[in-house]
Amino acid sequence: MKRLSLFLLLYAGLCMTVTAADAGVPARFAPWKSKIEKLSGFEKHVIIDKGTERPWSGKYVNFSKDGIYRCKVCGAALYKSSDKFDSHCGWPSFDDALPGAVKEVPDADGYRTEIVCARCGAHLGHVFRGEGLTPKNTRHCVNSVSLKFTPKASQDKNTVNENNTTQAKKQQVDTSKIAKAYFAGGCFWGVEYYMEQIPGVVEVISGFMGGKMKSPGYYDVVKGDTGHLETVEVRYDPRKVDYETLAKVFFEIHDPTQQNGQGPDIGSQYRSALFVANEQERRTAERLIGILEKKGLKVATKIMSATTFYPAEEYHQDHYRKKGGTPYCHRRIKRFD
Ligand SMILES: [Zn+2]
């Protein structure tokens, strides 16, 4: 009898959770309201209320096709199939996520680390380290129900673009609302730190641009002869913030007059530059440099054409958020009225 009442209590609790999620879309998911509304009660239970699907029940546990796993809510690319491994734990497991795609937060239970989609905050699962299951020693334990798989043949190589099904075309419209801008202003840790604070910026990724070498790593670029600049990719919602605002902040958080370096970091990889993707961005950059020069600044910042952006290693992403502290080489100085 006792056991039955406990069961009923648990059952009632589950129903209440699902009902609460059905009642409305939480404010944090407002930009994805239409997606959230289409989720099933169980999907809401996992993605919004941070529930867990039963082990071995998810569609991607025993699944090994080549492709990308995306967030079911916002479509952000989260995991590559090449990082998936068989952990025998009953949930899809990955030993790495795509750079900047997954955010780690302390779980409400006080000991585990929760993982959420960095773009929309959808609950994915938990991350565990030190189990020794793969050389990366990391297990992203993810609910299948939080994911949507895109097979390789239909994927765009670099970005979060979708395949050509009708459903995917709809998602492409969503992701295409996110624009990208590229700035180099010395050590990318500091530039990322400040650009991420701009309202309307969805995320900032530290990486490299402007050199000849393909897929450079930090230790290639730090030698100073690959031609790359430490660069950030700023992903922003153009309905909320424009390129000019981003470029102004860029000029205000570093010293655009310093030649061949920034602060204590000297070398060609730390040069100041705006990598423009179109004429409009170029004209904005030229106009802002003109304003600074009128104020007497001898601007060293170069305007260059955007080329392939290579994200830096995961340990360079969100440096100050992970390690704490504030940038050593960047601070904000008001330069525009
Ligand atoms: Zn998402």
Helices (H), 177-324: 188-195, 218-221, 243-253, 279-294, 319-323
Distance 6 CA to ligand 1 centre (A): 35
Computed on alpha carbons and rounded to an integer, the radius of gyration of the chain in Å comes to 22
The pLDDT of residue 129 is: 92
Distance 114 CA to ligand 1 centre (A): 14
Distance 16 CA to ligand 1 centre (A): 25
Active-site option among 117, 120, 187, 329? 187
The pLDDT of residue 23 is: 53
Q: Is 120 a catalytic residue?
A: no
Q: Is 15 a catalytic residue?
A: no
Distance 255 CA to ligand 1 centre (A): 35
Distance 332 CA to ligand 1 centre (A): 31
Distance 116 CA to ligand 1 centre (A): 8
Active-site option among 74, 120, 141, 329? 141
Contacts of 264 (CB under 8 A, 6+ apart): 328, 329
Quote the CA–CA distance of 255 and 262 in Å, as a whole number: 7
Grouped pLDDT means (10 residues each) for the chain, 337 residues: 43 39 72 91 95 93 92 94 91 94 90 92 94 90 96 55 37 65 94 93 94 85 87 95 97 95 89 96 97 96 96 83 79 90
Quote the CA–CA distance of 80 and 66 in Å, as a whole number: 8
CATH domain 177-323 topology: Peptide Methionine Sulfoxide Reductase; Chain A (3.30.1060)
Distance 101 CA to ligand 1 centre (A): 9
The amino acid occupying position 102 is: V
Query: Which residue is it, tokens 């910042």?
Result: 301
Distance 25 CA to ligand 1 centre (A): 15
Distance 308 CA to ligand 1 centre (A): 24
Quote the CA–CA distance of 298 and 291 in Å, as a whole number: 11
Q: What is the DSSP string of 239-279?
A: TT--HHHHHHHHHHHS-TT-SSEETTEESGGG-EEEEESSH
How confident is the model over 61-82, as pLDDT tens digits? 999 899 999 999 999 999 999 9
Domain residue ranges in the chain: 32-170, 177-323
Distance 162 CA to ligand 1 centre (A): 14
Distance 120 CA to ligand 1 centre (A): 4
How confident is the model over 295-324, as pLDDT tens digits? 999 999 999 999 999 998 887 888 887 777
- What class, spelled out in words, does domain 32-170 have in CATH? mainly beta
